[in-house]
Amino acid sequence: MTLHDAAPGVAPEPGVVPGGDTLPTTEATLIYNTRAGGSERSSPDHLVEALHQLGYRPVYRATDSEDDLVHALREVEGTVFVAGGDGTIRAATMHLAGREGVILGIIPMGTANNIGRTLGIQGEPLDVIAGYRGAQVQPFDLGRVTAPWGEDVFLEACGCGAFAEVLAEYNPDDGKSPLRAVQALGSALSTFDPAPIQLTLDGTPEPDETPYALLEILNTRATGPRLRLATNADTSDGLLDVIRIDADHRDGMLTYLAALARDDFEALPSVRSDRARVIEIPYHGQAFHVDGEVRAGEQGAVGTVRVECWPGAVQVLVPVAAPAAADTP
């Protein structure tokens, strides 16, 4: 999948969508995933009509496959509204990243909706569209990964340790369940036995090797089935949140479950949180995840996993009435 290069850290001036003080182009494309978890709540016709009421002229594109999405976004311009879950939004963003003259409008219709929640975009699809009247355009960072297995890009998070192991053993036939995911992570945090590694943040190595039961690099506040590990993450600050737990000083499973329920995971004494632009992780064949995709472990492999923030890789609409601070668990 080809990503378009953009000048690092350079983002266009914020704009205003129709209904605000200025009127940019009203051309728009609606990408609609008919298989999204909330697709029964609003039909494409309803969404098209709502966008018309905002002053857009949307072209509707049904995308039931990756080929459909590639075709729909190949030469798209203007605002691209994506109605679907985090997976659909991720797939569309991979094609839009770095492209000038394109704005992403998120209409969350999935289970976790980590991306929308981080931006304060929540609610029923028609209510979300109504909230875009007068909305601002702001940069949205992505994460870039260069590793022995190749190159990746993520919207939410990348990491190794307990959560990557949980994902590697995850059975999709059991269905998506935030509660089940939290319980599985809490159990894995208590028992996972990691090898010590020495992290490097923005060119500065940590003083010692540490066995991290959890090592997550987040762009959004939550990842997976709504696991809120970085409650203050900012997708427009040009930095990534580095969340980790030293296995030698970890708490019990119930402590982590309670902290996730209270939405103060980072406040635990055993959880260390930093922000960095570039993170380098020694690789000795451990399993990683990139958003919801697993990069399986490779026994005997060695190298370095380099994770870097890609500032302002895509421009997104953010309702002025629903800032990111309004995100609720």
What CATH number corresponds to the domain at position 67?
3.40.50.10330
- Lookup: tokens for 247: 């296995």
**N-to-C CA span, the chain:** 33
Provide CB contacts within 8 A for 71, sequence distance 6+: none
- CA 71/CA 61 separation, integer angstroms: 9
Is residue 170 situated within a structural domain?
A: yes
Burial class of 77 by CB neighbour count within 10 A (0 to 12, 13 to 18, 19+): middle
For the stretch 139-165, pLDDT in tens is 999 999 999 999 999 999 999 998 898
Average pLDDT over residues 96-115: 92
Provide the CA 90 distance to its chain's centre, in angstroms.
7
Q: According to the per-residue pLDDT averaged within each range, which of 6-10, 61-65, 175-179, 219-223 is highest?
A: 219-223
CATH code where residue 200 lies: 2.60.200.40
Do both 41 and 166 map to the same domain?
Answer: no
Residue 261 lies in a domain: yes
pLDDT at position 160 = 96
Residue 324 has pLDDT above 50, yes or no: no
Residue 231 pLDDT > 80 = yes
Is 326 within the bounds of a domain?
no
pLDDT the model gives residue 177: 63
Indicate whether 321 belongs to any domain.
no
- Of 77, 105, 134, the last residue of a domain is 134
User: What pLDDT was estimated at residue 66?
Assistant: 83
- Kindly compute the dihedral angle of the four CA atoms of residues 61, 62, 67, 71, in this order, to the nearest 10 degrees: -10
pLDDT band at 288 (very low <50, low <70, confident <90, very high): very high
Does 283 lie in the same domain as 149? yes
Q: What is the CA radius of gyration of the chain?
A: 20
Least confident of 21-35, 97-111, 243-257, 300-314: 21-35
Reported confidence tier of residue 21, pLDDT bands at 50, 70, 90: very low
Q: How confident is the model at residue 189 (pLDDT cuts 50, 70, 90)?
A: confident
Based on the domain organization, do 196 and 274 belong to the same domain?
Answer: yes
* Local confidence band at 79 (pLDDT 50, 70, 90 cut-offs): very high
Do residues 95 and 36 both lie within one domain? yes
Residues 154, 120 share a domain: no
Q: Which helix (H) or strand (E) holds 116?
A: helix 114-118
The lowest-confidence range among 147-156, 169-178, 251-260 is: 169-178
Locus of tokens 């002025």: 320
Decide: 208 and 198 in contact? Cβ < 8 Å: yes
In a domain, 325, yes or no: no
Reply yes or no on whether the pLDDT at 183 is more than 50: yes
Q: In terms of pLDDT, which residue wins out, 85 or 177?
A: 85
Place 59 in a pLDDT band, splitting at 50, 70 and 90.
very high
* Residue 9 included in any domain: no
6 pLDDT above the threshold of 90:
no
Identify the pLDDT of residue 120.
Answer: 93
60 lies in a domain? yes
241 and 128 inside one domain? no
What pLDDT band is residue 22 in, cutting at 50, 70 and 90?
Answer: very low
Q: Determine contact, residues 27/77, Cβ cutoff 8 Å.
A: yes
Q: What value does the mean pLDDT take over residues 21-41?
A: 69
- What is the distance of C-alpha 95 from the center of its chain? 15
Does residue 6 fall inside a structural domain? no
Whether the per-residue pLDDT at 284 is higher than 90: the answer is yes
Q: What is the pLDDT of residues 207-217, one digit of tens each?
A: 999 999 999 99
Number of domains forming the structure of the chain: 2
Domain with 191 in it: 143-311
How far apart, in Å, are the Cα atoms of 7 and each of 4, 61, 94, 311? 10, 30, 17, 9
Q: Give the mean model confidence (pLDDT) for residues 235-263.
A: 93
Model pLDDT, residue 327 = 62
Check: CB of residue 279 under 8 Å from CB of residue 286: no
Q: Give the burial string for 28-41 (b: 16+ CB within 10 Å, else e).
A: bbbbbbeebbbbee
CB-based contacts of 49: which residues, under 8 Å, 6+ apart?
Answer: none
One domain, residues 117 and 148: no
